[in-house]
Structure 1
Amino acid sequence: MTLPVLSCSIVLYNNSMDMLAQAIGSVLQCPMVQHLYLVDNSPQPLFSEPFEDNRIEYIFTNNNRGYGAGHNIALQKSMEAQIPYHLVLNPDVYFDAGTLEVLLNYLAAHPKVGNIMPKVLYPDGSLQYLCKLLPTPYDWIGRRFNPFKSMVAKRNQLFELKFTGYKDIMEVPYLSGCFMLLNIAALRDTGLFDERIFMYGEETDLCRRLIKAGYQTIFHPGATIYHAFAKGSHRSRKLTMIGMQSAVYYFNKWGWFLDKERRTINQRTLSLLGYKP
């Protein structure tokens, strides 16, 4: 079977050049990649010289409107170019040759998949638990400030779906935004990232809209990537505030405690995964 082509975007903001070079190299080693958009939200341009690979298009926005808004610039271009799939990628992610091909094979065989994410490891090879239920206010706000670590760990077994072992392909309602291989046809139905979310939570919102429109959001452990996950929102007061603002917006949009749709989706997910309390 001939694999479909794809495009990719990486949104930049004063990034490490060494780490970014790894991400760019990972993407360009895949022959199915038609375009790689580097959307630079930095105060000053990170690049001034042309790139050797003509698949790279560098876009200096000169206006940091946020992570989702940056990727939307590239997603619009992919739509106009009639590219069937688009990879939203963090600049601190890298992977081996053949990774994208595994996921493209799955997407080509499953047209109702709107978003797919591979297994994500730290650079030391340990697993990142990035498959989650749709969040409650406790998961996004209360959990961070709960001093009782045993309570947090118990909740994480469920919220982060740790009980599954992350060994099988599974349908998950909330997948990390560090790597989102998106079906452009699905985005035509749902719309792009909600640009009222500056950063943190935009992927949750999009996954939820994909599910609402009848698409699947899939974790596929047959492909692996490495993510130098920094949890910036836990280290910076400014990023913590941005994260809180995003959470408030998200829950105002979808519901705080009375969210019947969230309960239905999460219960269905746990049932499909064979969870037994």
Structure 2
Amino acid sequence: MQDAIGDYEGIRPINQQKNMLVTASIVAYHTRQEDLDRVLECALRSPIGKIYLIDHSTHDALRLKVADNPKIHYIHSLNIGYGGGHNIALRLAVDAGAKYHAVLNPDIYWSDNVIAGLTEFMEQHPDCGLVMPRICYPDGSIQRLCKLLPTPINLLVRRFVPFESLRRRLDYRYEMQWADYSRTMEVPSLSGCFMFMRCDVLQRTGFFDERFFMYAEDLDLCRRIGQVAQTVYYPGVSVCHKYEKGSYKNRKLLKCHIRSVIQYFNKWGWFFDPERRRRNSACVRTIKHTIPNRL
């Protein structure tokens, strides 16, 4: 692995901060500077011990921009994929003794005390392995990123079948549009745009599966965490997400998305997936009593 990730080889955590409570990682690939500056500003003013900036760009121009900040650990790497990039940081974070680690998209930003709020939530809920805050569009409207574990129909019909009424009907259940997003709830699939995870759980489940170059790696990891701990949506704090939907605009990213979806179902099962059925049913049953006559 080390021969594929540039100057990561031989790196050890800076200052060896044992018992570091929270670390975070951002994977950049020719990211817009204003987006990166904004998420770094949010992370730097938060109670995060170390921010790992993994740069997959074809040059390391970012190195000079962050070199003077001791809180940022910059690593220029060959592009080994989104999950692979975060795995570089996760290995360092675990080695440094971090208790929690936040995976951040570059297009995320926040204004309130999100990290402190999520840390407090995890401290009060030791059975939780992953928590996601409320995710909003820049205009403040909510992004419904809580989902059930998908069937092939969920992921393929919503992208390629031109029947809007069918897509709406499928998405209503799959995206949990029936759920009350003002409530904390255990959800089997949470978005990878902001993942706040317990490191000792990650040591049990393993990190991101690097066979997924991009897309579905968050779904796969969330599912594995859910096998040993709770995966929770917590609306007590919120972040903004620009939500570019790159695979809807870029043919290369679309091919990457399709390949990852195929890899996911090859791994977990296409139409025969008893765990999917069990966990989805349990999620719906648990939440249903709070919103009667809506399903």
Please give the TM-score of this superposition, normalised by the length of structure 2.
0.90
More deviation, 249-258/48-57: 48-57
| Corresponding residue number in structure 2 for 1:77 | 92
Aligned partner of 1:112: which letter?
Answer: D
- The residue identity in structure 2 corresponding to 1:261 is E
Evaluate the alpha carbon distance shift between residue 173 and residue 131 of structure 1 in structure 2; reply closer, same or farther with a 3 A threshold: same
Q: Which segment is superposed worse, 234-243 or 96-105?
A: 96-105
What is aligned with 1:273? 287
Alignment of 1:11-160 (within 5 A): 11-30=27-46, 32-49=47-64, 50-61=66-77, 63-160=78-175
Partner amino acid, structure 2, of 1:75: L
Q: Is the 8 A contact 2:188 2:226 kept in 1?
A: yes
User: Per-residue deviation at 1:51?
Assistant: 3.2
- The residue identity in structure 2 corresponding to 1:145 is F
Query: Who is 1:254 aligned against?
Result: 268
Alpha-carbon shift at residue 69 of structure 1 (Å): 0.2
TM-superposed CA distance for 1:150, in Å, is 1.3
Q: Is the 8 A contact 1:71 1:88 kept in 2?
A: yes
2:174 is the counterpart of 1:186: no
| Amino acid paired to 2:69 | D
Among residues 7, 17, 23, which one is paired with 1:7 in the alignment?
23
Match of 1:162 among 151, 174, 177: 177
* Equivalent position of 1:242 in the other structure: 256
Deviation at 1:44, TM superposition (A): 1.3
Q: Distance in 2 between matches of 1:185 and 1:107?
A: 12
Give the Cα–Cα distance (whole angstroms) in 2 for the partners of residues 46 and 122 of structure 1: 30
Shift of 1:48: 3.5
- Does the 8 Å CA contact 1:131/1:160 hold for their aligned counterparts? yes
Cα distance in 2 for partners of 1:26, 1:48 equals: 19
Contact 1:14 1:46 in 2 (8 A): no
Q: Distance in 1 between matches of 2:182 and 2:112?
A: 21
* Alignment deviations for residues 119-142 of structure 1 (CA, whole Å, 9 cap, x no partner): 111111111110000011011122
1:7-34 Cα distance to aligned partner (Å, 9 max, x none): 000000000001111100111111x211
Determine the C-alpha separation between the residues in 2 that align with 1:98 and 1:230. Answer: 25
Q: Check whether the contact 1:40–1:46 (CA below 8 A) recurs between aligned residues.
A: no
Q: Which runs of 5+ in 2 are unaligned?
A: 1-19
Distance 1:79 1:268 in 2: 32
Aligned-partner residue type, residue 265 of structure 1: R
Q: What are the superposed Cα offsets for residues 221-255 of structure 1, whole Å, 9 maximum, x if unpaired?
A: 11010001010011111101000100001000000
**What are the Cα deviations for residues 143-173 of structure 1, in whole angstroms up to 9, with x where unaligned?**
2112111111121111111111311000001
Cα contact 1:26–1:97 (8 A) shared by 2: no
Count of residue correspondences: 271
Aligned residues with identical type, % of pairs: 41
Find the aligned partners of 1:134 and 1:48 in 2 and give their Cα distance.
Answer: 39
Correspondence 1:228 to 2:242: yes
- Report the RMSD for the aligned CA atoms in angstroms: 1.2
Structure 1: unaligned runs, 5 residues or longer: none
The aligned counterpart of 1:199 is: 214
Q: How far apart are the structure 2 equivalents of 1:45 and 1:141?
A: 37
Paired with 1:117 and 1:108, the residues of 2 have a C-alpha distance of 15
Corresponding residue for residue 232 of structure 2: 218
- SS of 1:129's partner is coil
| Matching residue's letter, 1:230 | E
